[in-house]
Every structure is written in C-alpha cells, then in structure tokens.
Chain A
Amino acid sequence: MTAVLHLDNVTRVHGEGATRVAALRGVSFTARPGELVAVMGPSGSGKSTLLNLAGGLDTPTSGSVLIEGVDLSGLDVAGRARVRRTSVGYVFQDYNLIPALTAAENVALPRELDGDSRKEAREKAMIALERVGIAEVADRFPDEMSGGQQQRVAIARSVVGERRLILADEPTGALDTETGEEVLRVLRDFCDAGAAGVLVTHEARHAGWADRVVFLRDGLVVDEAAASGAYGDPLEQGAL
C-alpha cells in the first residue's frame, strides 16, 4: 500500500557555524492509510520539525518528503500550499481557530482557499462537522465554544474535503482527560476510515491510541514499536 506520508533520510539543520543545530538527522518515516503513528520524545528531539516538514511548512536540508507520492522538494511555496489545502490537515494544542470566523467557516477555510464557492465549502464543512459530532455549533464563533468543541472543529478542519493526512501536535494538551480522550477517539475514527495520522505527544497513554510509536531523541529515530493499546481503546484495555 502506498504511504500517505514518507520521509526519506531527512535532515534539517537550523543556523550556521557556531549556532548550527541539526533538528533532524537522517530520519526516515512512513504513515500509511488507516494508520495512526505516534511520535514521542523529549523537548528538542525534533518532533515539531518533523511535523513542519511533513506539512510542507518547512523544507529539509537534505532528503525528501513525499505526500501521496508527490515530492515536496519539487514544489514552490504555492505548490506546497496547494498540497496543504488538498492533502494535509493540522491539529494544534491551542486549537488555533480564527476568532473572526464561525466554526463552519473555520472548517470551510481550506476549501474556500482552494477555490470552492462559499456554499460548496460550507456543505463540505458541515459534513466534516457532523463526522466529529458537533454540527449544532456550526454558526458559533470560537469564543462561544468549549475547548473540546474547538478541538473537534480543528480536527474537522484538518479532514475537510478529501484530505488524507492529519498532523496533530499535542492535540489534547489544553483539554481535560475525558475531553482529550474523546478528541483522540475522533482522530482514531478518521484513521480507521482510511486517513493517515501523525500524533505528536508526550504522554504514553495517548500513544496507546496509535498503531505505532516512533521515538525521537536529538533528531534521530531511536526506537519504533507497536503501541501497547494498538487497535483498541486503551481505557478499555487497561493501558492506563
């Protein structure tokens, strides 16, 4: 099966001379359809750099990043932006919804950016909101929603349309335990439905929702293992 995301021997160096820091060093990484991969590691290990490279927000110093078989290094800024609109969705710890837009408009954002009419984009946004179970808050602004609702909107935004790669950076960091688990369940459901997911997290219990766990330290992949709670709800399987 073709990988949705494939990092091939990727190195990313920041700065020059004395300030030179290698955030990633020869990392190879794959996420396939239906697979949720957790990335764990201490601060400064290269987790966020990996996500930025995976979404085309940053470019590798060497190596290549392929999304659905397309090498991002061959694309310009606009080309990489197009890949983000059509193939990649981000979910952040702080939700990062645009305060001036309603929930539906936030979700519709990638589609409108891609040229869909407002009506078409809203229709697709409503489907995504229904999939995360909060269609009733579609016309609320972010400051009128709870944290859990906001994060579900963010997930809906990351999958709206036909996008098949979800990059989640500590998506439960600002949520209470119960709400966090609900959000991870939604993420898992999307992967089960055929999307590929990358979940950056500090917490082992959250990694339990993943199929595989990749451990990063000092920019290197130091270990890779099947998640302890693979293919099931870790709460039910006693992972905690």
Chain B
Amino acid sequence: MRWGFALRIAARDALRHKLRSLLVLTMIALPVLVVSAAITLVVTSQVSGQERIERKMGAAEALVWSEYRKPVDQAPDPFDWERWPVGDRLAEAPDLTDVAAVLGPDAHFVERRTERVEVRDSDKRLISFTADEVDLTHPITRGLFELTQGRLPAGAHEVVVSEPSVEAGFAIGARIEIPGVEEPAVVVGVGNDATTYDGLKVFGPIGSLIADTGPRNTGASDEAPQVWLVEGVEVTWSDVQELNERGFFVGSRAVIEDPPFASAASWVQDATGGGGDQAETLTVVLLVIVMALLEVALLAGPAFAVNARSQARTLALVAMAGGTPRQARRVILAAGLVLGTLATALGLVLGVATARVFQPLVQRFNGEWFGPFEVPWGWLVPVAVFGLLSALAAAVVPAWLASRQDPVAVMAGRRADAAPDPRTPVLGLVLLLIGVAGAWFGTQGDYTSAVPVAASAVAAMVGMILVAPVLVTTVARLARPLPLPVRYAARDASRHRGRTVPAVAAVAATVAGVVAIGIAVASDDKEYVETYIYAHAVGDGQIIWSPEEEGRDAEAGLIALAEVAGKAAPEVEVTPMLSPDLGEAEREGDYVYWEVDHDVEGNDLGPMSHGGGGASSIGIAPDTSHVYLSEDVRERADEALAAGRAVVFTDQVEGERDVVLSRVVERDYEDEVARTPDLEVALPALLVRTEGVASVIAMLPEELARDRGLEPIVTGVHLSGVADEETQQLITKALQQIDPTAEAWIERGPRSQEWQTVLLVVAVAGAVLMLAGTLTATFLALSDARPDLATLSAVGGAPRTRRAVAGSYALLVGATGAVLGAAVGFVPGLGMASALTRGDLYSGNSGPYIDIPWLLIVSIVVLLPLLTAAIVWVSARSRLPLVTRIE
C-alpha cells in the first residue's frame, strides 16, 4: 500500500471527526503559533546593518567617532558594540584633523554631539533628556529625524523634540532650559527620532544644548563621544582600518553594504577567539528542542490514541484484506501527517498574523524602533518541521499499538490490547536510572555541566513513558480490594493500555515539567533569600541622590536634605553619617576610594565586607548603631570603638592588629585599570568576622580619624524606623522638592513574591493541560466501555455507577500520571536548581541551594487528580443513549 491510500483514509477520517481533529490541530498549532509569532517579532525588532545605516548616519557616507584614546579594532558594522580598544594610550587625543588626513581633501564633515542633559521644566524640576546637537537642515542629516509637527530649527536657539517629550510638557513653544547652557532654546518642532521610540530627545544646532566642557576625546569613560558625519568620499575598509589605528571607529555605508568578509559574525568570532562554548550551547538547544517535541507529542498523543481506537475496526479490516502491520501503522501515521501539516500551516500563518497584529503593542515596550515587518522563513521552516515532527511523534505510539492489535479479537468485538513487551519496562527503568545518574553526574564538580543535565531530563522522560504501562497494570492489581467502580476503572485502564498509557504519559509529562520548574524556581528564590545582603536593618535606610558636586561641596546639600526628611516624617530618626573626606584627590576620569586590605606588616586581611548601600565604605561614628550587624559582632565592635580603635569587617581574620587605610586612585582605561594608593594611614584596629557582609568595610571613632588627619564630612543620611512605604514616599516627595534626584531608600529585606507568581502561572497551565489529557482519556474510555456499562446497567447498576466509574477512571489516570511525573520531575528539577544556584567564580562556591516546593507538588499529586475526578463526575452522563447495535 502506498502512502496515498493511507493519506486518503486519514484525510477523510479527519473530516468525519471534526471535533477530534480540531483538538489535535489546536495542540500542535498552538505551540507553532506561539513560537513563530515570537520569532517573527524578535526578527522584526532587530535592525539590520542596512536598516541601521539610515538611522545612524542619515544620508552620510560614514559616521566617525572616538571613544577611547587608543587604537581600536572593529567589525565591518561597528554598531551593537562590535568594537573595542587595542594597544596603548595615544599621546594626543584623536582629532578631526586625523580623520581629514586619512579621507583626503574631498571629505566634508558635519559634527554631531550627543549627551545626556538635565532639562528644567516649568515647575523647575530637572528631567533627563538625550541632547543631540546636529544641523538637521543639512542634507546629510536626512533620515535622522522625521518631523511630524512644526518646523526644523532655523536659528541657534531653536530645537525640535521627540514625540514623547510633548507628553512630558515640552510642546511647540516650550522653553528648554539646561543648567550650564547660557541661553534657553525654544521648541519649534516635534517628530520621531530615527532610532529610539520612547525616549525624551531634543535636537538642536551645535552649541544650543550641550555645555562646552573643554577638551574632548580624552578617553574618559564617562565622556560623550564626538561624532562626525562624512560626505564627499566613499570610505573603504582600508580607510576604516587606518582610522582605527588613529583611535576612531567608523560606520561606513560602503563597508556595511558590501562587507569585506563573507560573514561579519565569523570575523567577530575569529577576532575575539569566541565560539568555544558553541558546541555545548548547541547540544543544550537540541536537547531542549527534543524535550519540547516530547512534551507536545505526549500531549497530542491521547488524541491520536482516540483516532487509533476509533479506527481499530478499519485497521482490522485492512488486516483481513491482506494489510500488513506496517500498512496499518501507516494509516495512523498518515493521520499525524495530515493533521500535523494542516496544524503547522495554520500555526505558521496565524503566528505571522499574530506577530503583525501585536507588532505595535510590542513596539511600545521596546525603546528602539523595530525594523520593517519581516517574515523570517529561515527560522519558520525549522519551526514548521518541528510541528510536523511533533504530530508524527504523537502518532507513533498509537500507530505502533494499533498495528499490534489482534484483528480477530477486534472483529469479534473484544477490545483487549496486545500484551506488553516484557523488555519495555526494563528499558524504561534503565533509562530512568541513566537519567538520575546523568543528573547527578552533571551537578558534580565545581560547576554544573548543562549537557548531562539536559540529556538526563530527556532520558528520564522517555524512561517514564516506557515504565507507564507496568505502573498502570500494577495499579489495577492493587485495586483488587477497592469498591466496584474503582476496581472496574483500574482493570479497564489496564486492559486498554493503548489509550490509558498516552493519557498517563501526557499527565506525567505535564506534572514533571511543573515539578521541575517549581524546584528550579523555588531553589533560585531560596538562593536569593539566603544570599541577600542587608544594607540596613529592615525599616532603616538612607537618602540616595546624585549630586552635581562631590565631597565637601555636596555636604551642605546633604545636610539640607536631612533636615527636610526630618520635618517630613518627625517619627523617623534622621542621622547624618560621617566619613573621611577624600579631599581634592578626585581628578577628571579617576575614581577615588578608601580601602583596607592589609595590615602594617603587609599581611592580607582576606575578603572585606563591601559598602553596599552605604554612602561611603568607611564610617566615622562613636558606635555601630546605624550599621547592619549581628548582635555579638556589634557588642565587640562598639567596645573597640569606645576604646578608640578602628573596627574592620572581614570574612576571615579576627583579632587586634594595626591595619593600613589607603586612599586609592583608580584610573580606568576600559581594558586596564591603574590603581595607585596616594595616601596610607596606619590605624589600631579590631578585626571582626561578619556572617555574610556588612554595609561598611571599617568604622573608626571621630577622635582617631582626626588624630590621623582624616577630616570627617557628612557623606550620607541614615533613616531609622521608616515603618511603611507611605512614610517612605512622603519623605521622597519632600526630598524631591529640593532635589529631583533624591529619594529615601529603605531596606525591606528580600521580596520573594515573584517566584510564587511564576509558580502559580506554571501550576495553572499544568493543571489545564493535565485536565485536558485526563478528560480526553476518560471520555474515550467511557465511549469504549459502552457495552460493559450497558451490561452494568442491565444487571441493575444505578445511573450513578456510570458517574462513579468515570470519576474513578479520571482519578486513576490523573493520580498515576501525577505520581510518576512528580517523581521524574525531580531529575531535571534538581539538575536545573543545582545549575542555577551553584556559586560561580564571582559569588564563590556557596551553593547549591535546593528548595522543594512541597505544597505545590502535593497539590498537583493529590488535589489536581481529585479536582479532575470531580469535574468528570459532574460532567459524565449518567444514562446511556439507546443504541440498536453496538459496534
């Protein structure tokens, strides 16, 4: 028999049983729809190099800028951070004359400067804007800004703004007042920036928005780069390389449109030596795909089991007419092919349509404008293949079982399935053991290996399916002493494993997924709670702000904020916190801080506590009352401070010794950091070990600080007793009256509600799937058992007996699947939890943190099957329709 015949039967059968076909179509099409919509949206949201040219450089031939005062290297398309510095610091800051020297006399340049600025609104609040200084009337800038209202700037103090800026109060006619810029500008037009969707942006001519801050291109990390748009010459790859050597990055239209390498990505990989983990990543992706395939196949499996069951007589007739088991399998597999093809096509079309419909909505959550709508066939074809394979995989087991049926038994009206192969459960057990061993092996050693963990999940899942028939049979044996409806349901389920096993496997797969995700999420949360670093005691906190000045210049502002906070909430204790003044040490481009890491003899003090949440890592105070510490540490620290000694919080050493407090100047050149202690002070200190970390490195009494020439200044404001969020908001509101960047930050401890929401969503989704699998199997069983139920009724069985049988069947399928799935779910669950919570190079090997969400698991194993049984009990018909002949 050729496939054509099987496909013909399958297509006609699909049409004859529309509801069943719709069920399978939905199961296969839904994942295809979701995945293809997501892929289409992601690809559409990505801006290609070609698309980006217009957005970044308008009509220019190239965009040239300097970020580091060093020679650089870059990909042909340097955007998306495919660029980096190489070599030593250049003697001179890169300048336009360097660019002109490379590109020749025909090159013309239009300057563009971009920087974050604070714009003062009519209420004198400061609002952060991106200022873009460029001459938008110059033809070279065409495409950078799309004007929708008003006109482009014509004079030195005229600007245009992005559309979101209008909502922030900057419509046409509004004044743009920027601290540091002498004359305010006036908004004369509104439009869309070519790149960003939702940002507050203001465009004006050079000098209209950004205060002149002196020399540029110094290589300082916080400096906004100076950019030139180039016209008049085509910039070649060799020009780009030459400019790279002089410290410039170049986005060249000619190079991006016609890259010098076959694949820019491979160039980046070669250049960076990347790609080492690709094989592992690919393996994990493949295993995840296999898992997903298995899940979809298992969920659609019961529907194909229904199909195979309803076609049992057809298959028996095919066998009697000379059909082989292989030909019988083809009939069921053809159903998978027909419905899979249809579902995949439907899923793809609807997925692309959904992406198109939701594109504007998703755009709102993305700051950058999407590219043009794009259907990524290169990605969608594998998705389609995936959908088709899912359908075929779902049909494989029912087809195999159908081909093993005894045609004589079927024609005689006997419905028992063929005896299971005794090797199958043994193979299942072996695979389960391999799964457990793989998960264990994958989580041994210093770091979790993803491949064995993912592979073990697949092995465990397949093993689970193979073990399911034995479990169903065992349950039937155990049901011997139970009441008739349960006993009947258990034995019927066992006798008709062909339809029971796919349902049990579907439920088990769902539960295994929920349990695995539950364990992973709960463990991740446990790690978060247990490694949470308290900056203060719960209810205490501090004022955080971004002053324009540093050190002593900021002190007055901070004291003013402290006063405002005290008045806003009199019940809150407001304490200015002192730290040693860093003095005039801070220089342009440098980062200056205090450090204690060794004693006067040069011995390492071990890992220090960090200054998390504190305004300074060194505190000056008579006691530790405003520092988060355990009580025994606090007692000893207070005694030391009272005795005039410093207290240093370490993770290793304890005891009294003289330590060195250093003022370190850190000069950051992006890829290398120069650290130079420029002041060192010896202090008598008590070293105390803290559990976890304290919010300061060290504390010293004021007398000691002054004695060593360390001038105390106010660097922070401590808030005690902020009982609720209302008080916190009240203080913040009061603070922002005098400084919009200030707010009251209060320690509330770890907040772990989010994982419960995730688990709830997972549990509800799992419950729906479980319900669907169990209901399908139960109603199929009832339809199948109609002759037996009729007999039951004929011998005096009450109408409620049928309901009881239905409920018992649902309970058995649900509970067996749930128990099996919960047990198997532990394998990938523990593997994932271990991978997620095992410490790494940065956080130390503190994990893994394992938390088993027993409430969730017990609910799924006990409550959900009961709920399913109750639903079936209520919805099952208590009386059979009269039939003339039962086939």
Contact = CB atoms under 8 A, between A and B. Distances in A.
B215 interface: no
B325 A77 contact: yes
A100 B322 contact: no
Interface stretch (A2-10, A60-68, A111-119, A178-186): A111-119
Interface in A146-181: 157
B314 interface: yes
Interface string B1-27: 110110011001100100000000000
B676 to A, nearest CB: 86
A47 B389 CA distance: 46
A118 B13 CA distance: 19
A86 B407 CA distance: 18
B320 A100 contact: no
B324 interface: yes
Contacts of B9: 98, 100-101
Interface in A85-123: 85-86, 88, 90, 92, 94, 96-101, 105, 109-110, 112-115, 118
A157 B323 CA distance: 14
A193 interface: no
Most buried by B among A57, A83, A113, A118: A113
A99 B325 CA distance: 20
A96 B317 contact: yes
Contact of A112 (B5, B12, B325, B408): B5
Nearest to B16: A100
Given A98-B9, A115-B2, A57 B324 contact: no
A110 B16 contact: no
B9 to A, nearest CB: 5
Interface residues of A, number: 32
| Central interface residue in B12, B319, B324, by most chain A CB within 10 Å | B324
B322 A84 contact: yes
Nearest to B315: A98
B321 interface: yes
Interface core residue of B4, B320, B325 (most chain A CB under 10 Å): B320
B330 to A, nearest CB: 10
B2 A112 contact: yes
Given A57-B407, A81-B324, A99 B317 contact: no
A82 interface: yes
Contact of A90 (B4, B8, B320, B327): B320
A30 interface: no
A58 B407 CA distance: 10
Contact of A113 (B1, B12, B13): B1
B321 A84 contact: yes
B4 A118 contact: yes
A81 B319 contact: yes
A21 B299 CA distance: 42
B314 A98 contact: yes
A96 B315 CA distance: 11
B67 to A, nearest CB: 70
B705 to A, nearest CB: 93
A34 interface: no
A46 interface: no
B405 to A, nearest CB: 12
B321 A85 contact: yes
B319 A57 contact: yes
B408 A100 contact: no
A109 B321 contact: yes
A240 interface: no
A91 B819 CA distance: 48
Contact of B322 (A58, A86, A96): A86
B322 A85 contact: yes
B355 to A, nearest CB: 37
A77 B325 CA distance: 8
B13 A157 contact: no
Contact of A110 (B8, B322, B408, B887): B322
B323 A81 contact: yes
A98 B324 CA distance: 17
A197 interface: no
Given A81-B319, A85-B322, A157-B321, A96 B411 contact: yes
Contacts of A115: 1-2
Nearest to A55: B320
A53 to B, nearest CB: 10
Which residue among B322, B407, B887 has the maximum number of chain A CB atoms within 10 Å of its CB? B322
Contacts of B2: 112, 115
Nearest to A100: B12
B830 to A, nearest CB: 45
A113 B320 contact: no
Nearest to B327: A113
A18 interface: no
A97 B324 CA distance: 18
Contacts of A112: 1-2, 5
B322 A114 contact: yes
Contacts of B323: 81, 85, 113
B313 interface: yes
Nearest to A96: B317
B346 interface: no
Nearest to A102: B12
A52 interface: yes
A1 interface: no
B320 A84 contact: yes
A225 interface: no
Contact of A52 (B8, B321, B408): B408
B324 A78 contact: yes
Nearest to A101: B9
B429 interface: no
Contact of B408 (A57, A84, A85): A57
B324 A96 contact: no
Contacts of B314: 98-100
B649 to A, nearest CB: 79
A92 B314 CA distance: 14
Contacts of A92: 411
Nearest to B313: A96
Contacts of B1: 112-115
Contacts of A109: 317-318, 321
A27 B355 CA distance: 72
A100 B310 CA distance: 12
B318 A113 contact: yes
A110 B1 CA distance: 9
A100 B8 CA distance: 9
A95 to B, nearest CB: 10
Of the candidates B5, B407, B412, B887, the one having the most CB atoms from chain A within 10 angstroms of its own CB is B5
Contacts of B12: 100-101
Interface string B403-430: 0000110011000000000000000000
Nearest to A87: B322
B322 A118 contact: no
Contacts of B324: 77-78, 81-82, 113
Contacts of A99: 16, 314
B832 to A, nearest CB: 45
Contacts of A90: 320-321
B16 A81 contact: no
A222 B132 CA distance: 109
23 contacts: A48-B412, A52-B408, A57-B319, A57-B408, A77-B325, A81-B322, A84-B320, A84-B321, A84-B322, A85-B323, A86-B322, A100-B12, A100-B314, A101-B9, A109-B321, A110-B322, A112-B5, A113-B1, A113-B322, A114-B1, A115-B1, A115-B2, A118-B4
7 A-B pairs with the lowest CB-CB distances in the bound complex, closest first: A85-B322, A84-B322, A100-B12, A110-B321, A81-B324, A113-B1, A78-B324
Interface of B: 1-2, 4-5, 8-9, 12-13, 16, 313-314, 317-327, 407-408, 411-412, 887
Interface of A: 48, 52, 55, 57-58, 77-78, 81-86, 88, 90, 92, 94, 96-101, 105, 109-110, 112-115, 118, 157
Given A96-B320, A109-B317, 10 more contacts: A57-B320, A82-B322, A84-B321, A96-B313, A105-B8, A112-B2, A113-B1, A113-B323, A115-B2, A118-B5
